[in-house]
């Protein structure tokens, strides 16, 4: 017997009617299925075991369901509900749900015949002719996630996000925070979670990848805008052992005139006593005057990011305060010591205590950004044969049974994967309350769905230095980006260099790997050098004139010249739910050859990046997606899409191709963000198609942009008429340039190529009014 109940309903339905409903409940064999139309193309499905009651606190989804007009139709075998965008049908006997776009089947549930003793499982039937992406960050180098068997549990180098999107035009978010297994095989596609009594998932219809991500971000939160200086170059290592060493690095970069925007202080600035672990204060005698140190960094026009962990030693003030509130967990963390405990990030009180100490001891002294390390805090470290260090959550490593470990919300195992979301939220909200005028910038090792709303920059964890690991970063970063979290980076050169490169930076083989890694990193959202066992500063690679030094300097400079393009793309991420690091299938889904390319991607929608990931060759094959013309960034040579080209790339070149119709602003070289106003920009136009680009600018480091205090200049290229239209400036902000000059270059094999400014251009004086330039 099937029973139907429509909530928020003011009319009775007989067979077919149109209603305005938020929630619909269908009972199959006495078990209720709730269908919530959150928007016309986003549906949440909850299958209850008996009565309608939640099995967890909602942490991820923040959007209030809209009042969606829904048409109900009942037939012999099924009931269907249809919004203006999406139709869902429920088979009366089996309870199986199917999702349609008009008459086109997008996805159907698999009738599950496996009963779990504990936890929940749901299967789906995907067609053979679709690729899927997402599921977080994984280190296997696989782009298309079909055929995968993945254990989704937060670990060092592994980021668990139970969301995937399909080339068939939909996405699925599995709304469960416990450890989950994802499996795709000949029997179906499954999510199976260790904890939970209710099956809970969200189906999203989207014609393109950007549409799916936009709906998922609308559901889970808009990506925050980082300060502009976050997109410059960052130097780090494990670790700077004194404030004098730290300051000297910044001074060396300024002396060498190599651009630098940030320096990072890793652990033990609090001292070496484990009982003082992560005291969230400068307690190390080698940092005797942190206030003056930070002031000096700022006077050198650089920013400081600092490492903070979620665990604390027993002698620290923060430990004592959290202990008094019973807000510490009783399980082993890293470093494994019974005197070091993790705080309960699911407690608002505990998050407030955490931020209070960070604010008083670090933020008030001028710290600019946060490196929240080990945000998957239950860890055991072990080395494995794939060259990656994993930290796994294992029951045997607990001091107490994890089944008895309670959080402020309930059983830790029910909520474990959402730990980084909650921990990062406390810092984001704390800083925003403490200072309305300084943007939050957080780098963290782990994430869960929705974390983009808390100014999170992810990194790929403690990876080892090898060419295969370098290659695997590409698919890992792209798949993470396709879960809706747009900001990601990696330790340039790999965190650990042994056993492959025991001589470190003096080894020419390592230098080659490092340079290739840095070239790749220049085209990721954050550009950051970090690692242990060998230093990474540019001057460690020799002097100017040495190939490694020159290549590093070249790409740091190129990064700064591309900052107008990068920052404008960052605005698109916030304002239009765009994605900066893009799998080829996001923009070229119709070209099936792009579906499983794991060593190329788009940086923004214009630049195709094909890193060198092979130690044996400076030449590689590159597939250029069909449907457009591509221009070699370095030579200006044009190629038709749908073809594979062979590119020679000496050690100071990374293969880059620009899509026809692209307009890329190219800035002058500078030593740090804001050193020079962009009074003169080179506009490179890549002909062969019409194109548009909007140059976004604002004050760079406050939240006035949320009030619309910013500016946009739109550029439109008409390829047939060979004309460029520059729009009237929209918006304004304090300090905005009133007049500027654009050097406009139509790129060909003789000009507008490579990292140098073109000597041949058409100069245009611009004062904010619309104008058209013909060629």
- The vertex-348 CA angle with 347 and 352, nearest 5°, equals 120
Kindly state the tokens that stand for 325.
């509130």
Whether 462 is catalytic:
yes
DSSP state of 116: -
Whether 29 is catalytic:
no
Contact 229, 701 (CB under 8 A): yes
d(Cα 642, Cα 621) in Å, to the nearest integer? 13
Q: Closest Cα to residue 496, out of 583, 390, 649?
A: 390
Contact 530, 553 (CB under 8 A): no
> In angstroms, how far is the first alpha carbon of the chain from the final one?
72
d(Cα 258, Cα 273) in Å, to the nearest integer? 37
299 strand-pairing partners: none
d(Cα 452, Cα 615) in Å, to the nearest integer? 35
Q: Closest Cα to residue 35, out of 62, 63, 60, 72?
A: 72
Contact 70, 25 (CB under 8 A): no
Q: Is the dihedral of CA 614, 619, 623, 627 positive or negative?
A: positive
Q: Closest Cα to residue 309, out of 359, 354, 369, 274?
A: 354
Q: What 3-state class would DSSP assign to 560?
A: helix
Which position among 109, 261, 368, 373 bears the catalytic label? 373
Which position among 368, 462, 599, 697 bears the catalytic label? 462
Q: Closest Cα to residue 18, out of 27, 9, 26?
A: 9
Which position among 376, 537, 550, 682 bears the catalytic label? 376
d(Cα 55, Cα 22) in Å, to the nearest integer? 20
| Beta carbons within 8 Å of 504's beta carbon, 6+ residues apart | 497, 510, 533, 534, 535
Q: Closest Cα to residue 463, out of 531, 526, 373?
A: 531
3-state SS of the chain: helix, strand, coil percent to 5?
A: 25, 30, 45
Whether 211 is catalytic:
no
User: How distant, in Å, are the alpha carbons of 229, 241, 475 from that of 210?
Assistant: 26, 44, 18
Catalytic residue numbers read: 373, 376, 462
């Amino acid at each position: 017997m099937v029973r139907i109940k429509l909530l928020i309903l003011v009319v009775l339905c007989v067979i077919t009617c149109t209603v305005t409903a938020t929630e619909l409940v269908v009972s199959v064999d006495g078990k209720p299925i709730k269908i919530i139309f959150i928007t016309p193309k986003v549906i949440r499905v909850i299958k209850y075991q008996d009565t309608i009651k939640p099995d967890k606190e909602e942490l991820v989804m923040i959007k209030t369901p809209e009042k969606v007009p829904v048409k109900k139709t009942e037939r012999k075998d099924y009931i269907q509900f249809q919004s203006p965008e999406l139709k869902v049908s429920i088979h009366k006997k089996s309870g199986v749900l199917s999702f349609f776009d008009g008459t086109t089947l997008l996805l159907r549930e698999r009738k599950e015949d496996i009963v779990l003793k504990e936890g929940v499982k749901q299967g789906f039937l995907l067609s053979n002719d679709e690729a899927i992406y997402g599921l977080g960050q994984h280190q296997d180098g696989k782009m298309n996630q079909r055929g995968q068997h993945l254990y989704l549990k937060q670990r060092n180098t592994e980021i668990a996000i139970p969301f995937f999107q399909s080339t068939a035009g939909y996405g699925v978010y599995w709304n469960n925070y416990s450890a989950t297994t994802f499996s795709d095989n000949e029997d179906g596609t499954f999510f199976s979670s260790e904890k939970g009594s209710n099956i809970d998932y969200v189906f999203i219809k989207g014609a393109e990848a950007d549409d799916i991500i936009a709906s998922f971000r609308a559901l889970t939160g808009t990506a925050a805008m980082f300060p502009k200086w976050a997109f410059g170059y960052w130097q780090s290592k494990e670790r700077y052992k004194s404030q004098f060493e730290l300051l000297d690095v910044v001074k060396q970069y300024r002396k060498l005139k190599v651009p630098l925007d940030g320096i990072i202080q890793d652990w033990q600035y609090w001292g070496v006593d484990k009982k003082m672990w992560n005291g969230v204060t400068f307690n190390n005698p080698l940092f005797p005057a942190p206030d003056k140190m930070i002031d000096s960094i700022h006077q050198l026009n650089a920013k400081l990011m600092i490492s903070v962990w979620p665990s604390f030693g027993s002698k620290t003030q923060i430990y004592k305060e959290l202990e008094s509130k019973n807000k510490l967990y009783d399980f082993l963390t890293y470093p494994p010591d019974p005197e070091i405990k993790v705080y309960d990030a699911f407690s608002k009180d505990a998050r407030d205590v955490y931020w209070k100490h960070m604010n008083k001891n670090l933020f008030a002294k001028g710290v600019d950004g946060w490196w929240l390390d080990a945000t998957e805090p239950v860890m055991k470290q072990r080395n494995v044969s794939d060259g990656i260090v994993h930290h796994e959550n294992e029951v045997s490593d607990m001091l107490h049974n994890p089944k008895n470990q309670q959080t402020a919300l309930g059983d830790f195992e029910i909520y474990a994967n959402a730990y980084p979301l909650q921990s990062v939220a406390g810092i984001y909200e704390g800083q925003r309350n403490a200072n309305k005028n300084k943007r939050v910038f957080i780098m963290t090792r782990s994430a869960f769905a929705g974390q983009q709303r808390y100014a999170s920059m992810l990194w790929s964890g403690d990876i080892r230095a090898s060419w295969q690991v370098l290659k695997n970063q590409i698919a890992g970063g792209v798949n993470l980006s396709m879960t809706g979290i747009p900001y990601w980076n990696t330790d340039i050169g790999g965190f650990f260099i042994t056993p492959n490169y025991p001589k470190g930076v003096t080894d020419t083989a390592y230098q080659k790997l490092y340079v290739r890694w840095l070239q790749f990193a220049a085209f990721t959202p954050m550009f950051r050098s970090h690692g242990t066992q060998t230093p990474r500063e540019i001057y460690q690679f020799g002097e100017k004139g040495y190939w490694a030094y020159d290549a590093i300097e070249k790409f740091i400079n190129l990064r700064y010249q591309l900052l107008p393009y990068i920052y404008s793309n960052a605005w698109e991420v916030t304002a239009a739910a765009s994605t900066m690091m893009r799998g080829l299938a996001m923009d070229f889904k119709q070209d099936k050859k792009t579906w499983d390319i794991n060593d190329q991607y788009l940086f923004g929608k214009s630049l195709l990046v094909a890193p060198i990931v092979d130690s044996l060759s400076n030449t590689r094959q590159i597939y250029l997606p069909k449907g457009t013309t591509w221009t070699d960034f370095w030579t200006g040579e044009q190629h038709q899409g749908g073809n594979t080209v062979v590119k020679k790339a000496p050690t100071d070149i990374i293969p880059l191709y620009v899509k026809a119709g692209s307009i890329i602003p190219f800035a002058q070289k500078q030593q740090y963000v804001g050193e020079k106003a962009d009074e003169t920009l080179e506009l490179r136009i890549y002909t062969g198609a019409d194109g548009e680009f909007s140059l976004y600018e604002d004050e760079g480091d406050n939240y006035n942009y949320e009030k619309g205090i910013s500016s946009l200049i739109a550029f439109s290229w008409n390829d047939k008429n060979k004309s460029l239209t520059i729009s009237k400036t929209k918006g304004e902000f304090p300090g905005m340039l009133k007049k500027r000059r654009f050097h406009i270059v139509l790129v060909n094999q003789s000009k507008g190529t490579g990292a140098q400014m073109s000597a041949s251009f058409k100069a245009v004086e611009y004062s904010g009014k619309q104008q058209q330039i013909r060629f």
